[in-house]
Amino acid sequence: MPRRVRGGRATPAVVALALAALAALAACDRAPAGPCGGGVQHGAGPPRDTLLYCTDRDGTKAGPFREWWPTGAPRLEASYRAGKQHGHTVRYHQDGTRQEEGDYADGLRVGRWTEWYEDGTRKREVQYGAADEPQRWTLYREDDGSRWIEGGTLHQREHGHFVEYYPDGARTAEGDFVDGRQVGAWSYWEADGTATTTPRGAYAPDAFGAEPDDGAPGDAAGGNDDAADARPGPHAGAAP
């Protein structure tokens, strides 16, 4: 039989039950409200769906943005703030290895970004600055991971000083670009280190790189996003 309350005073057992109930309510208040917090969730993760992102009550993207491959492996981890991509971003190959990684600030890439080939070998590193500053990048070979080209890009055109290397680290070619065009005197070397007047490397005429007489396709919108042509500069995927 439960103990009776005398004189309107609660017994220790009643007090304990009341405290336990208050603690449970407090725990519920602290429980996470899902990936979107107080925002609105769109989509879902595997196995229900392959896209999940958050918006505020007005429909503006804000919070996590996640995408998965059909296999359920992660494809993209990103986030938004006030409708613009903001914060750390990681893309993945289908096998789950990293494809590229870096940070956004209010819709622009900032700092150092790194890309990898599917076998995990480093592909390129890009250093982003302000929208009106060239991005400096280093490209690496897939077969042996050796440094291939160091260069720069401004508004999706080659810009700045370029150096190309043989797999052993010796220089192949060196010179400058301005607004997508090779300018000034370029220097070239044979594989044994001997200087030559014959153009060598990816930026020689008729190679798959830049032609001295033709500029690269420009970007009317400007900005600091990656180049999108067939040259061996930085070519990252489009933002979600």
Number of helices (H), then strands (E), belonging to the chain: the values are 1, 16
Is the residue at 26 inside a domain? Answer: no
Pair (219, 127) in one structural domain = yes
In the block, tokens 């519920």 appear at 28
The pLDDT of residue 143 is: 95
User: What one-letter code names the amino acid at 102?
Assistant: G
Residue 97 and residue 125 in one domain: no
State the residue range of the domain holding 129. 121-224
Residue 24 tokens read as 């449970």
Mean pLDDT of the 147-158 span: 95
Domain count, the chain: 2
Tens of pLDDT along 192-235? 999 999 999 998 876 644 433 333 323 322 335 443 334 566 44
H helices of 8-125, in order, are 12-30
- The answer for residues whose C-beta is within 8 angstroms of residue 201's C-beta and 6 or more apart is 164, 172, 173, 188, 207, 209
Asked if residue 131 and residue 216 are part of one domain, the reply reads yes
Q: Pick the last residue of a domain from 110, 129, 147.
A: 110
In a domain, 58, yes or no: yes
Average pLDDT for residues 10-17, to the nearest whole number? 57
- pLDDT per residue as tens digits for the range 26-56: 444 444 568 999 899 999 999 999 999 999 9
What pLDDT shows up at residue 129? 87
